[in-house]
């Protein structure tokens, strides 16, 4: 009897810890500590953009000389709720045509995501729906990673890694690097 209760409780506690959005710098620095600088990331050829309740299929156009790519797992409630924190970078994209923000939402249950999570998102920016986790497949990401964020140059080479939304030091680094590289152009 105790095993029947203990196993689900253990599973729920692990799920809660993995999706927690507390400002825990160490949990979100795991990616930033890996030496990925200079690695080229592959972007899927075809992207499905969700914007203003409309899903539109488009070919990927590499028009930005600097971009942030972030991958978010749709079943992570706190990750979805944190999307509004990307407003700074979304406004930067509107200010400068050389900068792009690409938010990949990995969801195998798109209708559920659109009905239950999309209305909660307060970010006036297109989301890329990645139903088959193509971004991870193309780049051999560990499927256990709930979110992965990269600042890429014009050749899709990694400049910085880690999620600046949850880490003030990374946020400062991202802002400095973006401003430095945009000024050079």
* Structure confidence by residue, pLDDT tens digits, 30-56: 333 356 788 899 999 999 999 999 999
Residue 41 is part of which domain span? 25-184
Distance of CA 143 to the CA centre of its chain: 14
Please state, for a pLDDT cut of 70, what percent of the chain lies above it: 77
Model-level pTM? Answer: 0.78
pLDDT digits (tens, 9 = 90+) for 89-137: 999 888 888 899 999 999 999 999 999 999 989 898 999 999 999 998 8
- 71, 141 contact by CB (below 8 A): yes
Q: Is residue 149 part of a domain?
A: yes
CATH number, domain containing residue 68: 3.40.30.10
* Residue 8: inside a domain: no
Residue 96: CB atoms within 10 Å: 15
Distance CA 142, CA 28 (A): 15
* Residues 6 or more apart in contact with residue 39 via CB below 8 angstroms: 157, 158
CB 74 within 8 A of CB 80: yes
In angstroms, rounded to a whole number, what is the distance separating the alpha carbons of residues 120 and 110? 15
Count of structural domains, the chain: 1
């Amino acid at each position: 009897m105790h095993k029947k209760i203990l196993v689900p409780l253990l599973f729920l506690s692990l799920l809660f810890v993995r999706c927690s959005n507390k400002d825990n710098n160490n949990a979100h620095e795991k990616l930033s500590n890996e030496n990925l600088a200079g690695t080229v990331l592959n972007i899927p050829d075809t992207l499905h953009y969700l914007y203003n309740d409309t899903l539109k299929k488009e070919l990927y156009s590499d028009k930005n000389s600097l971009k942030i790519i972030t991958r978010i797992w749709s079943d992570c409630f706190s990750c979805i709720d944190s999307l509004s924190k990307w407003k700074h970078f979304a406004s930067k994209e509107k200010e400068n045509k050389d900068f792009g923000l690409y938010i990949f939402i990995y969801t195998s249950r798109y209708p559920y995501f659109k009905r239950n999570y999309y209305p909660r998102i307060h970010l006036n920016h297109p989301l890329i729906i990645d139903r088959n986790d193509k971004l991870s497949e193309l780049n051999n990401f560990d499927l256990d990673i709930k979110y992965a964020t990269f600042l890429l140059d014009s050749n899709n080479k990694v400049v910085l890694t880690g999620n600046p939304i949850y880490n003030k030091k990374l946020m400062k680094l991202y802002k400095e690097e973006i401003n430095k590289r945009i000024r050079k152009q």
